[in-house]
Chain A
Amino acid sequence: DAKTTQPPSMDCAEGRAANLPCNHSTISGNEYVYWYRQIHSQGPQYIIHGLKNNETNEMASLIITEDRKSSTLILPHATLRDTAVYYCIVRVGGIYNQGGKLIFGQGTELSVKP
């Protein structure tokens, strides 16, 4: 079962920051938080991942709370092309047995509006 909880949908105005929340209260100490998005009719696209520190790349920023029980993905200036389903995933730890698996939850459908 997925270990994350996300709101089913959100709206954001074009040009504004989109802040997508995720709860992962049962995360283990060595498990990473990953974010992917899926635009209609395409495969999931990797956005960013982190363990406990905040992370930033050219696409987004990831803010992880100190207790690691929740995180927020920030798209600083949302455009219409950012309309997609965003998945927050806790990646199963270890390289043996079930290690490395991505278990997708239901995701958040983000609509960026003009």
Chain B
Amino acid sequence: DTEVTQTPKHLVMGMTNKKSLKCEQHMGHRAMYWYKQKAKKPPELMFVYSYEKLSINESVPSRFSPECPNSSLLNLHLHALQPEDSALYLCASSQDRQKDQPQHFGDGTRLSIL
């Protein structure tokens, strides 16, 4: 069982829809991350939040909009996605951004764009 909870587990949406992915952790971690993983490929970092502030944006298109409303919750708002955005979206958290603090991952939301 993972201590990082992601909902929903599966999401199918059209290109004109607006939806949100949710990630929650109650380990007191102050750094949270979004990754994208295409089939048969390794995860790729999208965003990093540290103490509820956006620290890293890996040049992600604006149709993906992250939000960190509090230290336990991380959202990813989706709007006008393209079929190539279909992927597994993973959330992770760590104590902070220190390099000796491991990141713990959720099991992801599998997103399909019609």
Contact = CB atoms under 8 A, between A and B. Distances in A.
Q: Do A and B bind each other?
A: yes
Interface of A: 2, 30-32, 34, 36, 41-46, 49, 51, 87, 91-95, 98-107
Contacts of A93: 99
Contacts of A99: 97, 99
Contacts of A49: 100, 102
Contacts of B96: 95, 100
B25 interface: no
Contacts of A102: 45, 103
B44 interface: yes
Interface residues of B, number: 26
23 contacts: A31-B99, A32-B99, A41-B107, A42-B107, A43-B90, A43-B92, A43-B105, A43-B106, A44-B105, A49-B100, A91-B99, A93-B99, A95-B50, A95-B99, A99-B99, A100-B48, A100-B96, A100-B97, A101-B56, A102-B45, A104-B42, A104-B44, A107-B42
